[in-house]
């Protein structure tokens, strides 16, 4: 559960930025779950500051250990704001995709011998925190490619 480990390592400010960047019409991506946890009506959740909602959403994710939901949250953030990071990694490691979307994740796997060079290129072109976040997703998605998990674990901002 690499994405849960990565979530644990994110400070509240960084998680809030990710959460807030996915807001639509003033609602955060997990605000319905936050509203349930706080016993709010769904529309009333907007009265709380986004930072407070994000903090509660992070707690919900950590307590539930829901890697799939965490993966979707991080993946949504990266696809919306840093799609080029994803497509560069996929291109550099030989994974067939359509604008960052992989049709068959079982057969489309990164070439392990190309991972280190791909990560080096990502580090030249993108924020290190976003690269680490993506590698946590990639390690979760491709457990059969140990070079991806190794690349993630070697990151200075990866969870210890």
Radius of gyration of the chain (CA): 16
| 52 and 86 together in one domain | no
Rounded distance between C-alpha atoms, residue 52 and residue 31, angstroms: 11
Answer yes or no: is 137 within a domain.
yes
CA gap 101, 51 in Å, rounded: 30
Q: What is the pTM of this model?
A: 0.92
Distance CA 91, CA 23 (A): 29
86, 117: one domain = yes
- What is the full per-residue pLDDT of the chain (160 aa) written as tens digits? 899 999 999 999 999 999 999 999 999 999 999 999 999 998 899 999 999 999 999 999 999 999 999 999 999 999 999 999 999 999 999 999 999 999 887 789 999 999 999 999 999 999 999 999 999 999 999 999 999 999 999 999 988 7
Assess whether 33 and 88 both reside in one domain. Answer: no
For residue 71, being part of any structural domain is answered with no
* Separation between Cα atoms, residue 68 and residue 72, nearest integer Å: 6
Domain around 108: 82-153
Q: Which of 67, 141, 70, 69 is CA-nearest to residue 100?
A: 141
Q: Which two tokens stand for residue 64?
A: 């539930």
Please check whether residue 131 is in contact with residue 85, taking contact to mean a CB–CB distance below 8 angstroms. Answer: yes
10, part of any domain: yes
Closest CA to 128 of 91, 155, 160: 155
């Amino acid at each position: 559960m690499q994405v849960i480990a990565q979530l644990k390592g994110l400070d509240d400010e960084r998680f809030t930025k990710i959460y807030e960047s996915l807001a639509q019409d003033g609602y955060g991506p997990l605000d319905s779950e936050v509203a349930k946890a706080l016993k709010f009506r769904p529309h009333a959740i907007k009265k709380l500051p986004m930072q407070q909602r994000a903090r509660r959403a992070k707690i919900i994710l950590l307590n539930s250990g829901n890697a799939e939901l965490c993966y979707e949250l991080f993946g949504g953030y990266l696809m919306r704001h840093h799609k080029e990071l994803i497509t560069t990694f996929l291109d550099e490691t030989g994974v067939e995709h359509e604008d960052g979307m992989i049709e068959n994740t079982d057969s489309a796997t990164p070439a392990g011998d190309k991972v280190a060079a791909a990560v080096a290129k990502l580090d030249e072109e993108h924020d290190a925190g976003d690269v680490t976040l993506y590698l946590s997703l990639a390690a979760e998605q491709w457990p059969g490619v140990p070079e991806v998990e190794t690349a993630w674990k070697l990151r200075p901002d990866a969870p210890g």
